[in-house]
Structure 1
Amino acid sequence: MRRRIVGLTVAAAVLAIALFGVPLAALVVRYLVNDEQAELQRVADVAALTLSADLAHGREPGPLPAVDTAVTLTLYNASGQRWIGNGPAGLDEPIREALEGEIASGTVGGDLVVAVPVVDNQVVGVVRAATPVAEAWVRILGAWMLMAALAAVALGAVWLVARRQGARLARPLEQLAKNAQRLGDGDFSVRGRPAAIPEIDAVGTAMDTTAERLGDVVARERAFTADASHQLRTPLTGLRFGLEAALDVPGQDLAAAIRVAIGSTDDLMRTIDDLLELARDTNRGTEPLDLAPVLTELGDQWRVMLAASSRAIVVRVPTGVPAAAASGAAVRQVLAVLVDNAVRHGAGTVTVAVREAGDALAVDVSDEGPGPGDTDALFVRRSPKAGGLGIGLALARSLAEAEGGRLVLARAKPPTFMLLLPAFRDPPEGGESPETLGGPGPRPAADRPGR
């Protein structure tokens, strides 16, 4: 591209110089030839004035004035005979015209010739001035060489400017090509630098926007994959545990084990449906959510697994508790994360209790374990390969905030996590939605499990 820009620019400059320079060169030839003839006429006029007095009184004319060595002066009488000088003995066309009383000029052989009549009431003689045409062409060639030098300088300047402009145009395009290659290789952090060229900057901005959107999409997909893996692990573990228990106990009622497995499969399907619902941002808490069946179902899901470890789960839902203004899918997944953490990292009985907290509902999940060591990093999302907490609590907090609620560690020892949810209130006239607890509204793209 750079070579093409430089080549086209230089070619355009050559064409412009040719279109301007060829006529100018012809004008230079004409101008210098006319100038040379004018100089010859001036010399002849001086000689005619010098000799006119002698010719008018019939005296022998004196010597011709001194002139440049390249100029030949000759005096002819009224009959056309050479009188003084080294000019041709015969008459040429300029002399004949001058004998008729007019100044004549022309090219005779290889000379430029000017003939000036000497007049005293009548033509009494003719002064002929001549110089080789080569003298004029020396000046012409000098002017042409100067023009050629100026054209070469102009072409050199055009080449330098074209090279610089070519680099200025090509460099951002080459960078765009590299960025597109990196984007194709999966590097969505690639960003272009402004080139101060509106058209190229528009392309770069569009590519940056595309890279950012693709990066967000990939990040959401990866987050959804990690979140789905985390959330599906618990029901799969329960299903595996139930099947293994049925095989390990002699005389176990396999039909009952199959029914339990089917129930676990239903829980698994419910979890998948919840994740897909959350990924599509549906059901944003516009309908009231009764927490009692949600918590009862939660207790039933975890009771068997906790009983295998000689632990228990207690669910407390006081009567008269208002409904929550939140998505059932989000609440189920948040509580599943909290109970899963209590099972894996806690000890003793797991307690899930609901209480009113002003205009909100508080769901406390606690156990009798020692509690987390590093409370500052509880809700920081980490690599799935990191030990301890890393995905679940971060996901749970993002889901709670997306529903207009909050998730906090209310007490470190024994550990108690508190999920605050907005209580459902009948919307006033005008269809305004229930107030949230300062949540950010729709779930941010970076926090969604997927799309």
Structure 2
Amino acid sequence: MRRRIISLTVLAALVATVLFALPLGVAVMKYYRDDATTDLERAADAAALAVSDDLTSGRPPVLPPPEDDDEAGADVGVYAPDGRLLAGHGPATGGPLELRAASATVDVVTGRESGALVLTVPVVSGARVTGVVRAAMPVSDLTLRVGLTWLGMTGLAVVAIGASWLMARRYTARLVRPLEELAAAAGRLGDGDFTARGPRAGIAEIDRVGEALAATAARIGETLERERAFSAEASHQLRTPLTGLRLQLEAALETPGADPRAAIRAGIASADRLERTIEDLLALGRERRAPRAELDLDALLEEVRQAGEALLSPHGRTLRITRQEPPPAWVAAAAVRQVLGVLLDNAATHGRGTVTLVARDAGDALAIDVADEGPDLGETDPFATATAGHGIGLRLARSLAEAEGGRLRLSRPDPPTFTLLLPTDDPLAPP
């Protein structure tokens, strides 16, 4: 890319220089030609004035010395009307230009003779031509002046193209370097380095690309981090229905004369709950979730009752569910189901005695309390990582509750009581 940009820049400079230099070169040549003609005319006029009296009186003409450097470069000669050289420098016999001037039909005659630029003017006395003054300059002198000027122009063109090349290298490096760094950052991003960021180049377009890359890297990193954390917590969450299924099957094996069909039906129900748990976790793990709807509390509590009995019955424990005029809530049923599943599993694993679930009105929220007869938690934070076996599932439950606009907290340490607060505002209702 560097070479291509530099080549295009130099080519553009070369084309611009040529397009500008061609008419300028022609103008320079015309200028020097006109300037040489003016010098010859000045020298011829000065000589004609000097020899006019001599030619009119019939005396041999005497040419004065040249007055300036321009006239010093011209060869001046005085000719008789018949073409004879009377004084000065020039061919012994006048040519067509001298004879044409002697005819007194024109004031000035210009042309080329024998490799020289020639200008002739007649010397007139009244109506009679008394002589002709010839001023000549070698064409090589004119060519040398034009050539030197063209050479200088060529040198300036080379300098201009060289400067364009240097500037192109400098600005190409400034343009290409941030692009190369962006490519390297994109490569690191592809290798899994989500901290990769593009540089600030000071070029608006490149900076926008860098900002987009940085935003993409941050978004991918956050997404993967969230999915990793959610996967670790979800794997813990799957333990609840698996534990219930295992306990039911073990209880059926250890109970003599138990009806196998009842155990199979209970196992199928537990498998259904496991499948529902997997579906809920997959749905909740997506970044974009379905809009919230009114919670079917009766159906949810029935599912909780079945799951709770499967967990607690093998240990001789019971689940008591109470409704105290709970208000409707607008949340995702999958999230609430998983939060209550975590709380039941926590009560079954770390608690004792009867587990009580109370759904009640908490003013502007639906409150669901889950309590058991386990030991006093004291100052222990059950939501901390790996604290007395708590932590992973409860952290997942809290994040699910907060994602639905609710809260999960330890409302009382003795007996251990967790309270889930769910919003009762309809998100589709007009403000």
Shorter-normalised TM range: 0.7 to 0.9
SS in 2 for 1:432: coil
| 2-structure distance, mates of 1:12, 1:327 | 65
Q: Distance in 2 between matches of 1:62 and 1:74?
A: 10
In the TM superposition, what whole-angstrom CA distance separates every residue of 1:387-435 from its partner, at most 9, and x where no partner exists? 95554223212322344432112234554321123469xx8xx9738x9
**Alignment equivalent of 2:375, drawn from 357, 369, 376:** 369
**Greater alpha carbon shift after TM alignment, 15-24 vs 128-137:** 128-137
Residue among 183, 187, 193 paired with 1:181:
187
Equivalent position amino acid for 2:280 in 1: D
> CA offsets, 1:55-87, max 9 Å, x none?
222223234424655432222122211111232
Alpha carbons of structure 1 residues 66 and 406: separation in structure 2 relative to 1, 3 Å: closer
Post-superposition CA distance 1:38-58 (Å, at most 9, x none): 112211211111111222222
- Report the counterpart of residue 146 of structure 2 in structure 1: 140
Match of 1:27 in 2: 27
Match of 2:346 in 1: 341
Letter in 1 for 2:80: N
Q: For 2:236, what is the secondary structure of its paired residue?
A: helix
| Distance in 1, Cα, partners of 2:246 & 2:124 | 136
Q: TM-score, normalised by structure 2?
A: 0.81
RCO comparison, higher one (Cα < 8 Å, 6+):
1
Q: Which amino acid aligns with 1:90?
A: T
Using the aligned pairs only, state the percent identity. 48
Name the residue aligned to 1:351.
Answer: 355
Letter in 1 for 2:47: A
How far apart are 1:14 and its partner, in Å?
0.8
Count of aligned pairs between the two proteins: 418
CA offsets 1:210-234 (integer angstroms, 9 cap, x no match): 5566556545544553343121122
Cα distance in 2 for partners of 1:57, 1:374 equals 139
Equivalent residue number for residue 432 of structure 1: 429
Residue of structure 1 aligned with 2:309, choices 300, 307, 311: 300
**Would you say the 8 A contact 1:333–1:396 is kept in 2?**
yes
C-alpha separation in 2, matches of 1:91 and 1:262 = 132
Whole-Å separation in 1 of the counterparts to 2:400 and 2:232:
15
| Aligned position for 1:71 | 74
- Checking the alignment, whether the CA contact within 8 Å between 1:288 and 1:323 is kept in structure 2 is no
**Corresponding position of 2:420:** 419
In 2 relative to 1, CA 328–26 (structure 1 residues): closer, same or farther, beyond 3 Å? Answer: closer
Gaps of 5+ in 2: none
Residue equivalent to 1:226? 232
Instruction: Pick one of 92, 97, 101 that aligns with 1:98.
Output: 101
Mapped partners of 1:17, 1:87: distance in 2: 43
Give the superposition deviation at 1:349.
Answer: 3.3
Matched residue SS, 1:78: coil
> For the structure 1 residues 257 and 134, does the alpha-carbon distance in structure 2 shift closer, same or farther, using more than 3 Å as the test?
same
1:448 is matched with none
Match for 2:368: what amino acid?
V
1:98-117 to 2 correspondences below 5 Å: 98-101=101-104, 102-117=107-122
Cα distance, 1:96–1:394 mapped onto 2, change above 3 Å: farther
Q: Is the alpha carbon distance of 1:390 and 1:316 closer, same or farther for their aligned partners in structure 2, counting shifts above 3 Å?
A: closer
Asked if residue 129 in structure 1 is aligned to residue 129 in structure 2, the reply is no
Q: Which amino acid in the other structure matches residue 303 of structure 1?
A: L
- CA change 1:252–1:53 in 2 (3 A) is farther
RMSD (Å), alpha carbons = 3.6
C-alpha contact 2:60 2:86 (8 A) present in aligned 1 = no
TM (norm. structure 1) is 0.78
Structure 1 unpaired stretches of 5+: 436-451
Structure 1 CA distance for aligned equivalents of residues 291 and 14 of structure 2: 71
Shift of the 105–350 alpha-carbon distance from structure 1 to 2, 3 Å rule, reads farther
